[in-house]
Amino acid sequence: MFKHDHSSLVHSSRRASRRFHRRPTLPALASAQPPGCLPAASGRAQHAHVRRFDTRKPEATALELLAAELRIGDLERALSEAREAAHTDALTGALNRHGFAEAYQRETARSRRNNSPLALALIDLDDFKRLNDTLGHQVGDEALVHLVRVMRSALRPSDILCRFGGEEFVVLLPETALSQAINAIARFQRQLAAQAIPGQEIVLTFSAGVVVQQSGESLEQSILRADVATYAAKRAGKNCVVTG
């Protein structure tokens, strides 16, 4: 009796243990998950993704993009104006020395690459000091602006004009032989003599020295030769062209 009762207790305990360790069914797992979780193959809960939407209106976004584009455009224009101001003479609008140096490097490289002549003319207004002393610096400034205006109307798009200092100007003539450069500068003289300064009964003249850059010659050496030729033009009676 005692053995029989003990065996029943053992069997009953084993059945209870099996029931206790038996894995819960899938519905039971699902019901056991906390809210917002889904059952995973590994037995871990995966959190559901929550989508977030842009609450801004499309009209507001378009306006912001337009405002940004306008600001970028303003900055680009400001940079372009600053660059132009750094490269041009404030009075006449011709290139200054810095701008001319860049243009010269570009044209020299092209001349060497194409094996083409590069002419340079140094122009000096005649009697400019007397004009300033008798009529004042304002008229002198008007004379410089008038000279640049007339020359720009006569220059080719490829020609480069620079205010070198005071009443001195340099003209760079790409792909131009010496004889062609002389004819071009003489034509400029005739056109300038045919037009008085606006509002003034004053006609300007200039003396010029013209050179063609030699192989291996620097810009300073070319300008020095042109300067010597310009002084020779002054001594020859002004309003003429001399080659260097």
CB atoms within 10 A of CB 125: 21
The 10s digit of each residue's pLDDT in 133-156 is 999 999 999 999 999 999 999 999
- Mean residue pLDDT across the chain: 81
pLDDT of residue 207 exceeding 80, the answer is yes
Global pTM?
0.67
Q: How far is CA 167 from CA 14, 90, 207, in A?
A: 118, 14, 11
pLDDT of residue 62 exceeding 90, the answer is no
Higher pLDDT, 34 or 226: 226
Q: How far is CA 171 from CA 70, 91, 103, 219, in A?
A: 39, 17, 11, 12
Name the residues annotated as catalytic: 167
Strand ranges (E), 148-197: 160-165, 168-174
Higher pLDDT, 4 or 168: 168
User: Which pLDDT belongs to residue 86?
Assistant: 73
In what order do the strands lie in the sheet containing 241-243? 160-165, 168-174, 118-125, 206-212, 241-243
Q: Which amino acid is at 84?
A: E
How far apart, in whole angstroms, are the C-alpha atoms of residue 170 and residue 67? Answer: 44
Which sequence spans correspond to the domains of the chain?
A: 59-87, 89-243
User: Which pLDDT belongs to residue 56?
Assistant: 59
Angle at 129 between CA 123 and CA 132, to 5 degrees: 115
- Pick from 160, 142, 164, 140: nearest CA to 151: 160
Average pLDDT on 181-209 reads: 95
Q: For 103, how many CA atoms within 13 A lie in the half-sphere containing its CB?
A: 21
Average pLDDT on 59-78 reads: 74
Q: For 226, how many CA atoms within 13 A lie in the half-sphere containing its CB?
A: 31
Average pLDDT on 78-103 reads: 83
On whether the CB atoms of residues 205 and 234 are closer than 8 A, the answer is: no
- Written out in words, the top-level CATH class of the domain with range 89-243 is alpha beta
The 10s digit of each residue's pLDDT in 2-52 is 444 444 433 444 444 444 445 444 444 444 444 444 444 444 444 445 555
